[in-house]
Structure 1
């Protein structure tokens, strides 16, 4: 049996389309390739963008800023000594861009003007830390990226 150019091209296209469709179905059906949205309710989140920028600017304008640092014990959030610890309210979102199953919130409860998030709660890799806090009626938002070893 002899195959001419036209038949060969059709067979090549059919094999290529089969190859592509196989990978599309594999990615959609296998939970290993989880392709969720980065943020739930994206448009609702985006509508509050200007308010978020104002809180970030408030945090940027501070003379002494809180620090978010990774150490051997875990993530340490330290506020300057001139802040009264009992007047600071808010929460910290630790967001894992690669897998939302590891995301978690924690309330800001300071001891000696610092908060420690233990290392055993954190998986190795990149973490986005969003700290939403309020002091004397002013709202602040501090964002940091940390890498856990």
Structure 2
């Protein structure tokens, strides 16, 4: 059987359209390629954004802000030494943009100025850390993208 130009062009179009349809269907149905929002309640979080801006402004006014470092035991978050550690309260949120199943939240309970998050809870890769904390009735916020 011999193919002429018209038949070849039609077969090429059909092959190309089939490839595109396979790609579109695969991207929409396979959970591996999930393109949902990073946070579940995106619009609620958007409304609370001004509070976050105010807290970040308070944190920038501090002489020393929160610092972090990776140790053998895990992620060590250090709070300012000028504050009393037992009066610092709040929460630490760690989430991965690539996998919401490993996200977690920890309450801040300090006896010294350091908070340790165990290494077994953290997978290697990019994490977004958000420390929402209070001291003497004033709220502060520290946000950072870290690679662990």
TM-score by length of 1: 0.89
- 2:103 aligns with 103
- 2:128 aligns with 128
Task: Give the conservation status (yes or no) of the 8 Å contact 1:69–1:146.
Answer: no
TM-superposed deviation, 1:97 = 1.2
The whole-number CA distance in structure 1 between the counterparts of 2:132 and 2:6 is: 64
TM-superposed deviation, 1:118 = 0.5
Question: What does 1:36-47 correspond to in 2, within 5 Å?
Answer: 36-47=36-47
Task: Give the conservation status (yes or no) of the 8 Å contact 1:75–1:119.
Answer: yes
- 1:57 aligns with 57
What stretches of structure 2 of length at least 5 have no aligned partner? none
Task: Give the conservation status (yes or no) of the 8 Å contact 1:70–1:146.
Answer: no
SS at match of 1:103: strand
Task: Give the conservation status (yes or no) of the 8 Å contact 2:86–2:111.
Answer: no
Residue-pair matches, total: 148
Structure 1 segments, 4+ long, off by >6 Å, are: none
TM-score by length of 2: 0.90
Instruction: Return 121-130 or 73-82, whichever deviates more.
Output: 73-82
RMSD: 1.6
Question: What does 1:67-86 correspond to in 2, within 5 Å?
Answer: 67-86=67-86
What stretches of structure 1 of length at least 5 have no aligned partner? none
Question: What does 1:7-46 correspond to in 2, within 5 Å?
Answer: 7-46=7-46
- 2:93 aligns with 93
